[in-house]
Amino acid sequence: MDQPGHSRQSPTPLPIIAVASGKGGVGKSSVAIAIGRELTRNGRRAGLVDADIAGPDVPRMLGLRRDVPARTVTLAGWARGGRGSSGLEAMDVGGLKVASAGFLMAGDQGLALGSDLGDLMLGRLIKETNWGDIEALIVDLPPGISFTQQGVLSGAGRVATILVVTPAEVSHLDTARALSTLREVRTPVLGGVENMAYFECPCCGEKSELHTPAPEERTIWAGGVERLARLPFRPHAAIDPADLAPVLKAVAAHIAA
């Protein structure tokens, strides 16, 4: 069977870990980047796809910048060349291979695609990027989950999901909707990350909750998602990889499965 863009000729499908949420701004990109970096630091050959077509934040968060707009971005034209001839090289960021719709646009250029076209582009990014010899792919998803998007992902490899929420009720409610879509399409959920949950005072160490927490019965935890990490709000060092240890363990188990 054809393997997505990566060059290894392995009979096993590429493990894909999609970082998702029903809500925007909860830390999906931060968590996806932290997972990618930690995998790389631990000697795994990992790729990271920025699938947020409307707001591709990964390049900026990694300090990458493109100033020249792509002259023509037509999905059909891109597809015509076939795999490997798209000219889309993953960028190597400290060993982590990165592909982003942001590489096709200048810093302030917009790419207004409907969600289905966005999903199509996600498929192209995964399949036509020259990834080299990667063992796993992390996908930083935009807010919300659609059937077509999940179809694209499961067509590209063996997908599992990490969900990101804040403790707020709306975050849980919207992510519970995403969870029901994932369950309908039988995409496994490895667990959840509760991000920006509290602030620890640097002077006295006192912890303050940052949100009115959702009633327990309305959380995704009550819905059967394992809470793998509860992360503080850290103004300067957003995500401390040490806090993600249980997440990395679940990711490693998915890669090994």
Ligand X SMILES: Nc1ncnc2c1ncn2[C@@H]1O[C@H](COP(=O)(O)OP(=O)(O)OP(=O)(O)O)[C@@H](O)[C@H]1O
Q: Residues in the site for ligand X, rule: CB under 6 A? A: 21, 24-30, 52, 55, 57, 143, 195-196, 231, 233-235, 238-239
CB 111 within 8 A of CB 105: yes
CB of 51 to ligand X, least distance (A): 10
Phi, psi angle pair for 233, to nearest 5°: -80, 120
Phi, psi angle pair for 255, to nearest 5°: -65, -40
Site string for Mg ion, 18-57 (x = CB under 5 A): ----------xx----------------------x----x
Nearer to ligand X, 3 or 228 (CB): 228
Q: Which of 13, 18, 52 is nearest to 188 (CA)?
A: 18
Nearer to ligand X, 3 or 21 (CB): 21
Q: Both tokens of residue 162?
A: 């990490």
Could you give the maximum distance between any two Cα atoms of the chain, in Å? 60
Phi, psi angle pair for 246, to nearest 5°: -65, -30
Nearer to Mg ion, 86 or 98 (CB): 98
From the list ligand X, Mg ion, none, pick the one residue 234 interacts with, judged by a Cβ distance below 5 to 8 Å according to partner type.
ligand X
Nearer to ligand X, 25 or 151 (CB): 25
Nearer to ligand X, 239 or 255 (CB): 239
How large is the angle between the packed helices 28-41 and 245-256, nearest 10 degrees? Answer: 70
CB of 238 to Mg ion, least distance (A): 12
CB of 7 to ligand X, least distance (A): 29
CB of 73 to ligand X, least distance (A): 20
From the list Mg ion, ligand X, none, pick the one residue 233 interacts with, judged by a Cβ distance below 5 to 8 Å according to partner type.
ligand X
Rounded Cα distance between 211 and 22, Å, is 17
From the list Mg ion, ligand X, none, pick the one residue 143 interacts with, judged by a Cβ distance below 5 to 8 Å according to partner type.
ligand X
- Please state the three-class secondary structure of 20-79 as a single string: ECCCCCCCHHHHHHHHHHHHHHCCCCEEEEECCCCCCCHHHHCCCCCCCCCCCCCHHHHH
From the list ligand X, Mg ion, none, pick the one residue 30 interacts with, judged by a Cβ distance below 5 to 8 Å according to partner type.
ligand X
CB of 140 to Mg ion, least distance (A): 6
From the list ligand X, Mg ion, none, pick the one residue 3 interacts with, judged by a Cβ distance below 5 to 8 Å according to partner type.
none
Pure H helices in 71-168? 75-80, 115-128, 147-156
CB of 143 to ligand X, least distance (A): 5
